[in-house]
Structure 1
């Protein structure tokens, strides 16, 4: 009887120890790692969502930009962080869907090293070119590229830009040279100056330029036109079968207590339903699409990993 009571007591203490971090969470500032540079689309989303989430949690959320190596630096740092809820990771398909097929070796495992918390939404992209090119639309661009093989170059600061550009190359049968960049703002700067001629840019960092005369926007990567660029047709109208977008979500390190993940997820549901947040994100072209539970997001991440593995294989991109 005493042994049975001791076991019950030990079990109760274990449950109490596990619940304790969640009961008083959070009691200090939270860091949200973003694996892209300040000014990028993901950074803009993180700052909008992070500010309101911090208000809900009654603790400030500090954005920590750890850019470089196609999101590997930020992902590795987040994976190694203490799983206590004070280090979060806002990332995209780059680190968790594409990198496993783009690199032969990664300093993290996208499934084993993270605790999925919530999907936030999707960020559309568009193909923009330097205005010096004679092409006024996608068909003219593809015709020009075919007539000038290897003479055009495209910027690629993230996996979506890379896979989108390579998919266009494969389907349309054109020869365009990829130039890697560390950040989206740097890629856009070089496009405007004419260092590169093409760039599949995210709305978050590039929408202002897309609406200006400093670049020419030829097509959006989604299957339907964007209300933010109603006169810009989908690339799929000129490149049949093309349809690509970028998801965005929040993770914690592996081993994050379920109660903490659930708490953050619940607060995010409120944040992403807030009209002010939705309006600010809509101005970036970002489409709010939260997952209801961490488990739902976990399944989505697994499905997207398989989807992007197929996309990259079809695009003919070889792992570095």
Structure 2
């Protein structure tokens, strides 16, 4: 028979061990260099965000955090590589909204599952899009553009370089009761070139690549797509303000890890990522890119994925969009 005092000592020891395990995991993490997979080329907003955060996390963790650019396939290439990586906390992944909420509807056989193959740790940043017209368009405001588009259905076109901006343009068409003709491009840089050449008259695009042309007067920023004005374009009204009530499209970037990553490690990554996104110098570096720092809980991230998947899937199906 075990003596009651011995039993109590064993119980107390087990309790202490169970309490100390997360602390031990936190103090030993990371045990080596960390790889952060970004599914875009170097130089864009996603890459800059990852590099700014990687530097801060390297300082906190006393280990190098290396950004590994894996562009292509509507972020599928990077997502597959991240999903197949060891679940030891030494691989991070930066999904964007389309990776987790749109690709499942765009691909008939998506080679990763947006929730089963990852643990989604935190939202990092969001970005409003901007509705633009070049200086060859008579309309100087969004109401004027809507009036022109209603008078000439299909005569005015809009360019887009991503599925997110394409869907935002289609949602604008529906909300305003107009028909801007969609012209596809491979990326934002091509959209900007087409706007400058006059190949297209309007666009729905990210803020950062268009700021120089807005300042020069070549482009007019007619509206942004968040419910609140963008800090990068504080003088530009939102579509919501201009009468398209509750219109909101915000591109977001997150932080995920391969499924199976220990919970204690996930908590450490989430806490440190949230702390980094709250730093004033990080927020200042992101502002010129049109990015607004967030930092969220895993539960908030999961809810964002659920809500936006339900929102975009019917529209993608109705438009008959496919990427395979």
SS in 2 for 1:243: coil
Aligned pairs, number: 307
SS in 2 for 1:270: helix
Q: Which residue of 2 aligns with 1:91?
A: 95
TM-score (normalised: structure 1) = 0.83
1:248–1:235 distance in 2 versus 1, CA, 3 Å: same
Q: Find out whether 1:61 has 2:65 as its counterpart.
A: yes
Q: 1:270 aligns with which of 275, 295, 304?
A: 275
Q: Which residue of 2 aligns with 1:145?
A: 149
Q: 1:165 aligns with which of 166, 169, 173?
A: 169
SS in 2 for 1:116: strand
Deviates more, 1:15-24 or 1:239-248: 15-24
Which residues of 2 match residues 280-319 of structure 1 at below 5 A? 280-291=285-296, 293-309=297-313, 316-319=318-321
Q: Which residue of 1 aligns with 2:8?
A: none
TM-score (normalised: structure 2) = 0.82
In structure 2, C-alpha distance between the alignment counterparts of 1:22 and 1:108, rounded to whole Å: 29
Q: Which residue of 1 aligns with 2:130?
A: 126
After superposition, what is the alpha-carbon deviation per residue over 1:98-144, rounded to whole angstroms, capped at 9, x for unaligned?
22233433222111111111111321111112222222111222233
Q: Which runs of 5+ in 1 are unaligned?
A: 2-10
1:183–1:253 distance in 2 versus 1, CA, 3 Å: farther
Deviates more, 1:92-101 or 1:162-171: 92-101
Q: Which residue of 2 aligns with 1:105?
A: 109
Q: Which residue of 2 aligns with 1:31?
A: 35
SS in 2 for 1:145: helix
In structure 1, C-alpha distance between the alignment counterparts of 2:159 and 2:35, rounded to whole Å: 30
Deviates more, 1:70-79 or 1:20-29: 20-29
Larger radius of gyration: 2
User: Does the 8 A contact of 1:41 with 1:202 survive in 2?
Assistant: no
Shift of 1:240: 4.0
In structure 2, C-alpha distance between the alignment counterparts of 1:31 and 1:186, rounded to whole Å: 30
Q: Which residue of 1 aligns with 2:118?
A: 114
Q: 2:52 aligns with which of 40, 48, 51?
A: 48
1:195–1:41 distance in 2 versus 1, CA, 3 Å: farther
Aligned-residue Cα RMSD (Å) equals: 3.0
Q: Which residue of 2 aligns with 1:256?
A: 261
Shift of 1:30: 2.1
1:255–1:212 distance in 2 versus 1, CA, 3 Å: farther
Shift of 1:310: 5.7
